[in-house]
């Protein structure tokens, strides 16, 4: 097997910042299109929707083995399940082996899931059975834990799903938004240029934004090269971009030396961890001087600092959130100092945390948070129901903060946030109602005029376009209801009949036709939900639990005569996030049917099997009654009929 290395002793973040500082770093509303690289600091003139799923394929969340969840049933520490190893796949590779019953494939973090596998088990929860002779790779594994379908797998579209509203008109483009546009493959942007810093990304799977992706090759857009270059310019750097470097150590060394000859500081992203395919630490030791490998920061642990001749060097993690956190916290201050650029004005403010935050102690934690400018707040230190019913006024007028952490690999974590809360390494819990210090991403950060959370719905997305700079988090009806009970959003988007009725006032409602999206001509002759199971079962693409559409389908199957069990439907247990995601699988020929809306089927040119109509409601937060955002939303509802008329299967409800 390929050797793995361990991180050196994790360095204190303040010591790492000092080490980097010691490196040798020297009005008319017309619309124009600018390259993505020049977009930072500009204002978006038109709405941008996701044209692709991010990521574009199902990928492993950890190093380990891809397998069939059903094969792990009953597995535990004392009674492991043995599976045969039939291949391996790394990030940027096309799987060459399929997984059948009793089989597994070795897989790296971020690699494409092989055909037949619906889950993966981390390397820490298996025992490898090695072969004999010259070939010492594992030939079998003992699995010591059971996993469910989708376990440790990031499905296509989990970060951002095609068809979702990504950015709206009027958005001030900061490095966070630039990174999001890069992930979507946007090469040019419709909008209303020092120390020399080189930017070089590593990874065979990376493709420049604007170029088409080949999902069969496991390709992704290069987010970090764009977002980190934008952040370096904002800090005062003259940025030079270099072609991506592959993972081969010799080629990687040559790329680093060429770039270092032209720069005061060279920044790379990716290949900084301790995995078998992460070669940068060894290359830096051979070609220069390695000062730091690993920092006690989360996210941001796999960070490198060193020198390449007369050039300073910092290796940033590959995950976009981690890379941006490390740059902002550890690298940007050194660039500003070298460029003579002052620290950002109005760097922080105090806010009240609306929701609890839990952490594993041991590393300093950087928590992205969103802000709400509200004059009313839930009562601190009380249970959820009491807080939702309380109407105390905050005498200090402090803004409210809510966590938006979606993981280091989720580009949208930072585009959803307004700043960071730094949590000390020895802290494991921050309670609702506590005052936290929020370090703003920039001095001109302003909370959204309206915060909406809930069902991913095309009608709600279109209605948001009628408002000035709202923030819409399409995280599902269950999330909208739960967070409304915590007092977080101004308005919740609720589809169907949730188990617990959300508190607040119904502001508007409409109906949407839902059912099964099928290929043109409906070649399998699917007529209803019951056709998904049985002897002629069809492959199915489902939505994640927590969405109103998923709840409606669950209820339909339960009430069928005879009732249909979800286990009888191929693919039912693997839920996708975006309302278009199942239909996109059907369009790509990866599923015979998918849960969705008539509006989606018509937009993508697919056929549709109607299963009924579902009510969608906007529920206003009673604590914000009379706030400017809700008043603007109420005014915008005059255009609701026009907005809904543009969507197939939609109509206003009484």
Are 135 and 265 members of one domain?
A: no
Mean pLDDT in residue range 615-644: 94
The domain boundary residue, chosen from 132, 154, 176: 154
604 or 281, greater pLDDT: 604
Mean pLDDT in residue range 8-33: 82
Q: Picking from 107-111, 384-388, 542-546, which range would have the lowest pLDDT averaged per residue?
A: 384-388
The domain boundary residue, chosen from 447, 469, 501: 447
The domain boundary residue, chosen from 154, 189, 206: 154
Q: Examine the pLDDT at 229 and tell me if it is beyond 70.
A: yes
CATH number reported for the structural domain that contains residue 87 in this entry = 2.170.190.11
pLDDT digits (tens, 9 = 90+) for 471-483: 999 999 999 999 9
Q: Picking from 106-115, 136-145, 234-243, 271-280, which range would have the lowest pLDDT averaged per residue?
A: 271-280
Are 204 and 97 members of one domain?
A: no
3 in any annotated domain: no
Distance (Å, whole) CA 447 – CA 433: 19
Q: Picking from 2-6, 15-19, 369-373, 383-387, which range would have the lowest pLDDT averaged per residue?
A: 383-387
Are 168 and 278 members of one domain?
A: yes
Mean pLDDT for the chain overall: 87
pLDDT of amino acid 133 = 44
pLDDT digits (tens, 9 = 90+) for 520-565: 999 999 999 888 887 667 899 999 999 999 999 999 999 888 888 8
Give the rounded distance of the alpha carbon of 526 from its chain centre: 34
CATH number reported for the structural domain that contains residue 425 in this entry = 2.40.340.10
pLDDT of amino acid 24 = 85
Are 177 and 195 members of one domain?
A: yes
Q: Picking from 198-207, 457-466, 590-599, which range would have the lowest pLDDT averaged per residue?
A: 198-207
Are 572 and 626 members of one domain?
A: yes
Answer whether 563's CB lies under 8 Å from 557's CB. Answer: yes
Per-residue pLDDT band at 618 (split at 50, 70, 90): very high
Answer whether 87's CB lies under 8 Å from 107's CB. Answer: no
Are 282 and 358 members of one domain?
A: no
Per-residue pLDDT band at 388 (split at 50, 70, 90): very low
452 in any annotated domain: no
| Exposure b/e, 470-482, CB count within 10 A at least 16 = b | bbbbbbbbbbbbb
Give the DSSP letter string of 139-152: EEEEE-S---TTTT
Q: What are the residues facing 508 on neighbouring strands?
A: 618
pLDDT digits (tens, 9 = 90+) for 166-205: 999 888 888 999 999 999 999 999 987 468 999 998 888 8
pLDDT digits (tens, 9 = 90+) for 254-307: 999 999 999 999 999 887 665 545 678 888 888 999 999 989 998 888 899 999
Give the DSSP letter string of 398-449: --EEEE----TT-THHHHT-SEEEEE-TT--EE-TT-EEEEEESSTT----S
Mean pLDDT in residue range 493-498: 96
Mean pLDDT in residue range 441-459: 90
Cα separation values, 158 from 41, 140, 170, 243, 651, Å: 28, 31, 26, 28, 29
Q: Examine the pLDDT at 327 and tell me if it is beyond 70.
A: yes
76 or 170, greater pLDDT: 76
Mean pLDDT in residue range 489-498: 96
- Cβ neighbour number for residue 102 with a 10 Å cutoff: 14
pLDDT of amino acid 208 = 87
Are 149 and 199 members of one domain?
A: no
**325 backbone dihedrals φ, ψ, rounded to 5°:** -60, -45
6 in any annotated domain: no
Are 565 and 610 members of one domain?
A: yes
Q: Examine the pLDDT at 378 and tell me if it is beyond 60.
A: no
Distance (Å, whole) CA 629 – CA 606: 37
Q: Examine the pLDDT at 99 and tell me if it is beyond 90.
A: yes
Compute and round to an integer the Cα radius of gyration of the chain.
Answer: 25
Number of domains in the chain: 4
555 or 24, greater pLDDT: 555
7 in any annotated domain: no
259 in any annotated domain: yes
pLDDT above 70 coverage of the chain, percent = 90
CATH number reported for the structural domain that contains residue 580 in this entry = 3.40.190.290
Are 301 and 262 members of one domain?
A: yes
Q: Picking from 122-126, 476-480, 624-628, which range would have the lowest pLDDT averaged per residue?
A: 624-628
Cα separation values, 125 from 67, 72, 73, 517, 574, Å: 13, 12, 14, 38, 22
pLDDT of amino acid 123 = 95
Can you give the pTM of this predicted structure?
Answer: 0.76
pLDDT of amino acid 4 = 43
Are 365 and 494 members of one domain?
A: no
CATH number reported for the structural domain that contains residue 331 in this entry = 3.40.980.10
1 in any annotated domain: no
**Domain carrying residue 134:** 59-154
Per-residue pLDDT band at 611 (split at 50, 70, 90): very high
Are 146 and 167 members of one domain?
A: no
pLDDT digits (tens, 9 = 90+) for 126-137: 999 887 544 457
Answer whether 316's CB lies under 8 Å from 266's CB. Answer: no
Are 534 and 407 members of one domain?
A: no
311 in any annotated domain: yes
**Tokens in use for 308?**
């390449």
Answer whether 364's CB lies under 8 Å from 13's CB. Answer: yes
pLDDT of amino acid 318 = 86
pLDDT of amino acid 273 = 64
**Tokens in use for 493?**
């988007």
**Which residue is it, tokens 């008539």?**
598
Q: What are the residues facing 492 on neighbouring strands?
A: 453, 619
**36 backbone dihedrals φ, ψ, rounded to 5°:** -55, -35
Q: For 425-573, where are the E strands, in sequence order?
A: 429-430, 435-440, 451-454, 471-473, 491-495, 505-518, 540-543
254 in any annotated domain: yes
**Tokens in use for 40?**
């930072």
pLDDT of amino acid 272 = 67
- Cβ neighbour number for residue 389 with a 10 Å cutoff: 13
């Amino acid at each position: 097997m390929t050797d793995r290395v361990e991180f050196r002793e994790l360095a204190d973040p303040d010591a790492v910042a000092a080490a980097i500082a010691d490196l040798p770093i020297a009005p008319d509303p017309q619309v124009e299109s600018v390259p993505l690289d020049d977009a930072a600091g500009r204002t978006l003139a038109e709405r941008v929707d996701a044209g692709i799923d991010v990521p574009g394929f199902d990928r492993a969340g950890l190093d380990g083995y891809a397998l069939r969840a059903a094969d792990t049933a009953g597995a535990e520490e004392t009674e492991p399940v043995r599976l045969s190893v039939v291949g391996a796949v790394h990030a940027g590779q096309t799987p060459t082996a399929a997984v059948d019953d009793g089989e597994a494939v070795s897989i790296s973090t971020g690699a494409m899931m092989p055909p037949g596998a619906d889950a993966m088990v981390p390397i820490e929860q298996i025992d490898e059975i090695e072969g004999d002779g010259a070939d010492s790779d594992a030939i079998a594994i003992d699995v010591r834990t059971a996993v469910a379908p989708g376990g440790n797998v990031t499905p296509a579209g989990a970060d951002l799903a095609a068809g979702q509203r990504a950015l709206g008109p009027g958005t001030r483009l900061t490095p966070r938004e630039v990174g999001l546009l890069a992930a979507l493959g946007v090469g040019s942007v419709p909008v209303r240029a020092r120390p020399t810093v080189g930017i070089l990304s590593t990874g065979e799977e990376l493709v420049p934004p604007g170029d088409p992706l080949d999902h069969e090759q496991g390709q992704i857009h290069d987010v970090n090269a764009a977002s980190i270059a934008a952040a370096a310019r904002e800090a005062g750097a003259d940025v030079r971009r270099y072609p991506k470097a592959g993972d081969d150590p010799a080629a990687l060394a040559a790329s680093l030396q060429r770039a270092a000859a032209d720069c005061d500081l060279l920044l790379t992203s990716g290949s900084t961890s301790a995995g078998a395919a992460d070669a940068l630490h060894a290359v830096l030791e051979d070609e220069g001087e390695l000062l730091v490998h690993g920092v006690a920061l989360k996210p941001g642990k796999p960070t490198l600092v060193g020198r390449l001749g007369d050039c300073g060097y910092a290796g940033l993690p590959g995950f976009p959130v981690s890379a941006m956190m490390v740059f902002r916290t550890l690298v940007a201050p050194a660039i500003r100092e070298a460029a003579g650029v002052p620290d950002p004005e109005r760097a922080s403010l105090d806010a009240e945390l609306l929701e609890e935050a839990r952490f594993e102690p041991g590393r300093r934690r950087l928590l992205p948070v969103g802000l709400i400018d509200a004059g009313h707040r839930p009562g601190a230190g009380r249970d959820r129901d009491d807080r939702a019913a309380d109407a105390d006024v905050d005498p200090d007028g402090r803004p409210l903060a809510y966590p938006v952490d979606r993981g280091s690999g989720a580009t949208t974590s930072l585009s959803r946030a307004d700043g960071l809360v730094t949590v000390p390494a020895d802290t494991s819990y921050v309670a609702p109602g506590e005052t936290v210090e929020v370090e703003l991403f920039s001095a001109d950060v302003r909370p959204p005029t309206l915060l909406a959370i809930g069902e991913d719905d095309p009608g709600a997305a279109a209605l948001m376009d009628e408002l000035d700079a709202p923030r819409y988090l399409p995280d599902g009806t269950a999330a909208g209801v739960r967070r409304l009970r915590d007092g977080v959003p101004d308005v919740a988007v609720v589809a169907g009949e949730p188990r617990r009725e959300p508190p607040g006032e119904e502001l508007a409602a409409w109906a949407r036709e839902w059912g099964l999206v099928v290929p043109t001509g409906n070649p399998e002759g699917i007529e209803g939900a019951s056709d998904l199971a049985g002897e002629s079962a069809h492959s199915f693409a489902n939505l994640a639990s927590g969405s109103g559409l998923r709840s409606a389908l669950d209820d339909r199957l339960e009430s069928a005569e005879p009732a249909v069990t979800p286990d009888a439907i191929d693919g039912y247990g693997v839920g996708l996030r975006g309302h278009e995601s199942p239909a996109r699988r059907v369009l790509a020929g990866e599923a015979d049917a998918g849960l969705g809306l008539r509006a989606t089927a018509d937009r993508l040119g697919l056929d549709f099997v109607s299963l009924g109509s579902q009510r969608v409601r906007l529920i206003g937060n009673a604590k914000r009654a009379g706030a400017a955002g809700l008043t603007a939303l109420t005014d915008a509802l005059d255009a609701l009929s026009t907005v809904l008329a543009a969507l197939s299967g939609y109509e206003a409800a009484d």
